[in-house]
């Protein structure tokens, strides 16, 4: 730790976590002094319009905080498309997973696996904070990894799910070793119907390409495909629902089907360490339903462990550790 950081710790340091959804922005804040959290507060901005820059009200709020505290760090959670994670750290591993090494920014985790994000997405995030500055940018995979480390690790392949309002992350770890992972956006409620009607086509893509090769950009293109191009016989019942509890609907069906496809691809793809996964640990930062948990236990024959998490608070903690440790 540098002398500057040691001195800085004696003053109030404000850490701001910004999580932007389609029409909502959640800001979580922690004030740290002498290694202790002195104050915690948050603010939510609703009814936002899509924009390439921050809403003026949010921007003014951040600027006011920057004026109030001597040291301020803004951290942003990149919950957009064009990111992922895979086992391996060499250039050959990027090629294997069809990730252009010159098109992304990547970091190495435990000298064993890689987390990456598109340079386009990173620049978009920086542009959002042009007038306030952006200090720290985090992938949901980093957040999930931090959750995994904070709980008792399993010495067998275990599925982990980080659930939030407009996205969720799936990954399989064995102790600290990462095997495979994927990131999904959750569409708005009024878009869920169309998303469910495209599920079969997504499932076929996953089985043909493999989990890490199915980019969210492909999913967006499929979602925007005209219904005229879809086989009329398929549109009536494109998703195999024979195993689905009738109480599941909307978001639950989407999460369940993605999880099921994720596990099936893991088992069938020879590139993965396809031992049977007996347990799923869910870090729930939104609202996971009892019906969905029962469906996972009954149909997928998995033990389910659920931990409630505050994603904004956890993001603040990550930023604090990065700055002071």
The pLDDT of residue 21 = 87
Q: What letters, b where the CB count within 10 A reaches 16 and e where it falls short, cover 299-313?
A: ebebebeeeebebbb
- Residue 221 burial class via C-beta count within 10 angstroms: exposed 0-12, middle 13-18, buried 19 and up: exposed
pLDDT top residue among 308 and 195? 308
- Listed residue (297, 283, 121) closest to 216, CA to CA: 121
Categorize the per-residue pLDDT at 219 as very low, low, confident or very high, splitting at 50, 70 and 90: very low
Determine phi and psi for 312, rounding to 5 degrees: -60, -45
Residue 141 pLDDT > 50, yes or no?
yes
- Residue 244 burial class via C-beta count within 10 angstroms: exposed 0-12, middle 13-18, buried 19 and up: middle
When mean pLDDT is compared across 167-181, 238-252, 306-320, the lowest value belongs to 238-252
Domain locations in the chain as residue ranges: 146-309
Residue 218 pLDDT > 60, yes or no?
no
Categorize the per-residue pLDDT at 50 as very low, low, confident or very high, splitting at 50, 70 and 90: confident
Categorize the per-residue pLDDT at 217 as very low, low, confident or very high, splitting at 50, 70 and 90: very low
pLDDT top residue among 272 and 207? 272
144 touches 281 (CB < 8 A): no
When mean pLDDT is compared across 86-95, 178-187, 199-208, the lowest value belongs to 199-208
Q: Which pLDDT tens digit goes with each residue over 273-286?
A: 778 899 999 999 99
Q: Compute the 3-state secondary structure of the chain and give helix, strand, coil in percent, each to the nearest 5.
A: 40, 30, 35
DSSP codes joined into one string, 15-46: EEEEEE-SS-EEEEEEEEETTEEEEEEEEEE-
Rounded alpha-carbon distances, angstroms, from residue 112 to 89, 178, 180: 6, 7, 12
Q: Quote the mean pLDDT of the chain.
A: 84
Residue 222 pLDDT > 80, yes or no?
no
Classify 254 as helix, strand or coil. Answer: helix
171 touches 141 (CB < 8 A): yes
Return the residue matching tokens 């992938």: 139
Residue 25 pLDDT > 90, yes or no?
yes
pLDDT top residue among 273 and 199? 273
Rounded alpha-carbon distances, angstroms, from residue 134 to 63, 128, 138, 216: 12, 9, 11, 25
Categorize the per-residue pLDDT at 182 as very low, low, confident or very high, splitting at 50, 70 and 90: very high
Residue 225 pLDDT > 60, yes or no?
no
Residue 173 forms beta bridges with which residues?
A: 158, 178
Determine what percent of the chain is predicted with pLDDT higher than 90: 65
Rounded alpha-carbon distances, angstroms, from residue 249 to 207, 244, 267: 24, 9, 26
**Average pLDDT score over residue span 15-26:** 93
Categorize the per-residue pLDDT at 5 as very low, low, confident or very high, splitting at 50, 70 and 90: confident
Residue 236 pLDDT > 50, yes or no?
no
pLDDT top residue among 4 and 279? 279
Q: Give me the helices (H) in 129-250, please.
A: 140-149, 192-197, 199-209, 216-223, 232-235
What is the dotted CATH code of the domain comprising 146-309?
Answer: 3.30.420.40
- Listed residue (244, 140, 164) closest to 196, CA to CA: 244
Q: What letters, b where the CB count within 10 A reaches 16 and e where it falls short, cover 250-267?
A: ebbbbbbbbbbbbbebbe
The pLDDT of residue 169 = 97
pTM of the full predicted structure? Answer: 0.82
DSSP codes joined into one string, 82-130: SEEEEE--SHHHHHHTT--TTTEEEEEETTTEEEEEEHHHHHHHHHHTT
Structure tokens at 310: 């505050």
Categorize the per-residue pLDDT at 204 as very low, low, confident or very high, splitting at 50, 70 and 90: low
H/E run at residue 177: strand 177-185
The pLDDT of residue 304 = 96
The pLDDT of residue 189 = 60
**From CA 108, how far away is CA 85, in angstroms rounded?**
10
pLDDT top residue among 53 and 231? 53
Categorize the per-residue pLDDT at 248 as very low, low, confident or very high, splitting at 50, 70 and 90: low
The pLDDT of residue 241 = 44
The pLDDT of residue 98 = 94
């Amino acid at each position: 730790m540098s002398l500057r950081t040691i001195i800085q710790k004696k003053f109030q340091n404000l850490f701001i976590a910004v999580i932007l959804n389609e029409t909502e922005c959640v800001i979580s804040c922690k004030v740290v002094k002498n290694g202790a959290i002195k104050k915690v507060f948050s603010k939510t901005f609703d009814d936002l319009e899509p924009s390439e820059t921050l809403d003026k009200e949010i921007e003014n709020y951040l600027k006011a905080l920057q004026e109030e505290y001597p040291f301020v760090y803004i951290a942003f959670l990149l919950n957009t498309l064009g990111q992922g994670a895979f086992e391996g750290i060499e250039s050959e591993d990027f090629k294997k997973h069809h990730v252009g090494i010159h098109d992304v920014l990547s970091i190495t985790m435990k000298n064993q696996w890689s987390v990456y994000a598109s340079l386009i997405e990173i620049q978009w995030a920086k542009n959002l904070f042009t007038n306030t500055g952006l200090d720290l940018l985090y992938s949901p995979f980093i957040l999930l990894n931090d959750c995994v480390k904070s709980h008792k690790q399993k010495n067998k392949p275990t599925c982990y799910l980080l659930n939030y309002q407009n996205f969720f992350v799936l990954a399989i770890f064995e102790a600290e070793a990462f095997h495979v992972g994927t990131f999904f956006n959750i569409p708005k409620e009024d878009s869920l119907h169309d998303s469910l009607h495209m599920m079969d086509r997504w499932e076929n893509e996953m089985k043909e390409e493999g989990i890490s090769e199915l980019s969210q950009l492909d999913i967006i293109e499929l979602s925007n495909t005209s219904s005229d191009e879809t086989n009329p016989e398929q549109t009536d019942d494109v998703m195999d629902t024979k195993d689905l509890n009738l109480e599941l609907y909307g978001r639950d069906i989407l999460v369940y089907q993605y999880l099921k496809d994720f596990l099936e691809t893991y088992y069938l793809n020879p590139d993965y360490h396809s031992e049977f996964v007996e347990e799923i640990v869910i870090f729930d930062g939104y609202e996971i339903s009892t019906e969905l948990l029962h469906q996972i236990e009954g149909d997928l024959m998995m033990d389910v462990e659920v931990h409630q998490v505050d994603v904004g608070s956890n993001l603040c903690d990550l930023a604090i550790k990065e700055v002071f440790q």
